[in-house]
Amino acid sequence: MKITINKLFKLLCDNDNYLILTHRHPDCDTLGSAMALSNLLRSLGKTVYAVCPDKITEKQKRLMDGYGFEDTGAPYEHIITVDVASVKLLGKYEDLANDIFIKIDHHLNREDFGRYSYVEDDYASCAEIILDICEYFEKAGKYTLTKDAASYIYCGISSDTGGFIYSNTKPETHIRAARLLSCGVPASYIDEELHIIKTPDRIKAEGYALSNMQYDLNGKIASVSISMKTRNELSVTEEDIADIVDIPRSVDGVDTAFSVKEEVDGSFRVSLRSGITDVAAIASAFGGGGHMRAAGCTLYAGSIDEAREAIVKECKKHIKS
């Protein structure tokens, strides 16, 4: 059931013992949203802890002030999901899908789950919704946005807008960011961590991507495939290749860019980015989802080339010539 912010305010006030769930393959939007919401709920005297179905990266841990999102097995009563578009994205927590109390999300292509849902699907990030909630509590005289919470929210916004570059960035996005900066958020530190600083292994992975790019549809599609064999040869981690799709998407003339990565279980993880084409529609053809211009899915195919071909075939259906 969709609820208003006033109803959400009442629900958060009237209940206690929260478990916040983030999505698998976590980004700083889901993590930052969870951290800021935890900060708000704790300041109200509530018990809350946040977990992630996957291990978070060292960089994410730094940005989240050392909080690792590990499951301590602590008891809880009410589950809140943040930035989770589908129950599949709950990973090992998928079996909790029917027990979700409140879903807070900004995805356009999302599943209907959770007893209550609070959604703003024209927001660039889920973290901005958390900011709205914080401000609602402020107006009610129950909370003052802290520098820490503001920093977590800023991480979410900067992460989901690619540092205010993606087309989801709106005037309101900048206005919200301005408010966060006025709380003392170390924006340039966060932006550098998120968008500039890379490990030597990440640079090595980018080198591989640069020299192994594949083009289709007269250069409108660019892709890079990284098999487990390549991963081992380069000795790069999942973290090193997490945003490798940024390499094909940086090529002039490319509309749709994607990366295919072989996973430990033999499946193929695909990340899609585009200029115009609705890549959420492409991802959803394979049971995935996301946003118009940034989406992802997991494929089960005989080989990485087969997986790549399947995506190219689907892209061709959606790219207007």
Q: Minimum distance between the CB of residue 29 and Mn ion, rounded to whole angstroms?
A: 3
Size of the chain, expressed as the number of residues it contains: 321
Pick between residue 130 and residue 304 the one whose CB is nearest to Mn ion.
Answer: 130
Q: Is the dihedral of CA 112, 116, 122, 124 positive or negative?
A: negative
Pick between residue 119 and residue 311 the one whose CB is nearest to Mn ion.
Answer: 119
Q: Minimum distance between the CB of residue 149 and Mn ion, rounded to whole angstroms?
A: 17
The side-by-side arrangement of strands in the sheet containing 268-274 is: 214-216, 221-226, 256-262, 268-274, 294-299, 289-290
Q: Minimum distance between the CB of residue 106 and Mn ion, rounded to whole angstroms?
A: 6
Tokens read off for 320: 């207007």
Tokens read off for 41: 């709920």
What b/e string do you get for 181-197 counting C-beta neighbours within 10 Å, with b at 16 or more? eebebebeebbebbbee
3-state secondary structure of 114: coil
In the bound state, the residue with its beta carbon closest to Mn ion is 29
Pick between residue 94 and residue 121 the one whose CB is nearest to Mn ion.
Answer: 121
Pick between residue 168 and residue 277 the one whose CB is nearest to Mn ion.
Answer: 168
Interface residues with Mn ion (CB under 5 A) are: 29, 83, 126, 160
Pick between residue 254 and residue 279 the one whose CB is nearest to Mn ion.
Answer: 279
| CA nearest neighbour of 239 among 64, 55, 33, 53 | 55
Q: Minimum distance between the CB of residue 25 and Mn ion, rounded to whole angstroms?
A: 12
Q: Minimum distance between the CB of residue 266 and Mn ion, rounded to whole angstroms?
A: 28
